[in-house]
Structure 1
């Protein structure tokens, strides 16, 4: 695990809490870093600012104030003018840059009403990869982290803190590591699953996703029964208007033996309504003897299963837009 820590700090600039929270399960920590690195940190066809706009928009849609703050702040450091503020506030229609407006609007709708992709097919591995990454990370953060990474100040003081944070995040976002070279030894090789075929155009991204998916699936199989995993997949296919509510949960949990219900409750909520996970839900899983590693593996599997489901549902077109990062 020390190797992963050192690489994150060297290439990302810090051991960010959304990554550090995975530490009780070292393979899942390596998986999370591998995906974030290859999709967000390594330069490619898509400028970092555009990926940060997608990350901030997905985070808003997932009710994840922590990630919305972090990536909205990074966007402020990368893009001048008022567009970052409009995206961070969810006022996508006010974004003046046509490209950022299209990407942010697409990202906000990615889970519920995905429309045609507003980018060239060659950019799909990075932009759909960003959607997958933050549908995953948002869920993990909603379960385990506080509401905002910034100090609890308001008014002019908060504006000052945000400006300072934007300068720091701009510096951290300027890193230019090479694809693939720093993560291939962290996890075993694995075939690319069919639902991740959209990443094939960028082999380093596809490779990282395949290795990460294999590690996370292994943890899910260890902590959740096959029937429990089937319930999560079924809920993602047809969540319904009351997904995550007490009656919705009870209807599904009643089909399981009592011993399997606490972990399955956590998995279902992490997948469809992560902001509804409470201390009582976590405590319920602990009563079954689950340790920190089990909690991470349950939520990681559910979060990644949801993220993969959403990513696979994106509509790829033959959009001519997009440009190479410089």
Structure 2
């Protein structure tokens, strides 16, 4: 177990994942947390990151910093999603190695796996086929991060681990309709339609793709578990091992929000990957499983959304 006075740097502590990791450590009684906003530390600046590590000398690093977004954002900003994510993770992982950081957790995404990978997707599926074109830029950056962690484990015996969560949702999610992922976008659309006399809700695609969703507090628990245990492998999938069609997800959110209007599916828009289900057996065998069921998680997230409506804003870079 980590000591309570262990110095822990959480990169991206104001984003959805980073804030959940911060909450988890605080709940467990860890007070020696090192935190920097993007205005205080530009993670794209190599010199600034190295100076920060030299000064703070963290024992543990959790890399939850990234430029994130859904299909639309990835498609419109391919250069930013590729280059900025490479800059951020390269600087953090390299500085961690150079300054002898004891343990590091690198957080990625299930989009690193091929578009037509066998389902459920195991860690061994990595680099066995073409990526989903709409988010390949982000995926390539995250694959590079995974391989950096793997290389440092092999060459320098670093106790660094990559965790690849499935689609995440929860408090501090991005509800901006231009850059958000499918679940938070649906929550906002159904809520606003309900407020607008239950007007119809337009949604992309056919509704047929299968998706898996994990509450962000569960991935924070996975990070905490990883840092407090000896992990045999460099790469672990983190998810529920259960999926749902986008159409059924829409109906579930519509019911939770209380929207009584129509749903209009725009089949001229892309569906994205047909199915994305994680094989989480490796993480389960290590001793971790999820806790929050989808319906309960969406209910809690919708309540958070309503309570924070005035403060919700576009989050392009988790910082």
TM bracket (short chain): under 0.3
The two structures have a TM-score, normalised by structure 1, of 0.26
1 or 2, which has the higher strand percentage? 2
Q: Which has the higher contact order (CA 8 A, sep 6+)?
A: 1
The two structures have a TM-score, normalised by structure 2, of 0.26
1 or 2, which has the higher helix percentage? 1
